[in-house]
Structure 1
């Protein structure tokens, strides 16, 4: 059974360069990951239309995370890891027989502490803070890179 990947994020990514990059990397990942038992990727975007803050965002995000999914929060306090380490972490969840992996990207203020606390893993893209819309693109590229690493393809170079 493949490990289905979910990107659960606050806000809607509109048409533009970020959306084009996101779609490109997700398409690449879906193509290369299929043979490895990874994917497809589904994007779940939620909007806090009432400006309820992080707790409301956490409730909305929790509503789109599949039951039983491995939850990986993208958070500045998370672990910084090299791409091969990330690839092997994802492969490990696949090899454990997990069916769903949800990456959670919060809004402008981050992820509510209650949702962050229930995450199985916390991942950081470094000490710098990145716009949450750009974080989707960076995550999608790393997913594609992970599939390439696991397949032994030449995309990733050390």
Structure 2
């Protein structure tokens, strides 16, 4: 099993980068005993600045073949943290690779969204894509904590 976090843009030294690194490190430590590998971060960047049109082929090429594709999209389902953890656990048990996709400031092209096995939203509000990275990294750590029975998640 491989877990990929595929994002548009590069996080430079920033508070967001520190938080993403912290939560992904926590996930790696907690997930190790659960059979969850460290998350591989893949950043793509449209250097021509053409927005969604330029980002779409970069994202499309970077999605690992055969992976269960989870697109972060404001129109997606809003699972609870335990439901999210359960899905991660099920995919682990099936030996499936997972690729989480976070688009750029303009979101994801409909042609990409149609490739998703699961579209999820972090709420009805729209969030900056750099904050979505932090929030998804935290939810991955929370999922590993839930699967391990650790007290981090208080339901």
Structure 2 length normalisation: TM-score? 0.97
1:143 matched to 2:140:
yes
Runs of 4+ residues deviating >6 angstroms: none
Greater shift, 58-67 or 110-119, is seen at: 58-67
1:50 matched to 2:39:
no
The aligned residue for residue 78 of structure 2 is 80
Question: Aligned residues, how many?
Answer: 155
**How far does the alpha carbon of each residue in 1:9-67 deviate from its partner, in whole angstroms, 9 at most, with x for none?**
10111111111000000000011111111121011111111123313212101222111
**How far does the alpha carbon of each residue in 1:44-94 deviate from its partner, in whole angstroms, 9 at most, with x for none?**
111111123313212101222111111000000000011000000111111
RMSD value, Cα: 0.9
Question: Unpaired runs of 5+ in structure 2?
Answer: none
Structure 1 length normalisation: TM-score? 0.95
CA distance in 1, matches of 2:90, 2:50: 36
1:110 matched to 2:107:
yes
- Bigger share in strand: 1
**How far does the alpha carbon of each residue in 1:69-121 deviate from its partner, in whole angstroms, 9 at most, with x for none?**
110000000000110000001111111221x2100000011001111001100
Greater shift, 133-142 or 46-55, is seen at: 46-55
Alignment of 1:1-158 (within 5 A): 3-98=1-96, 100-158=97-155
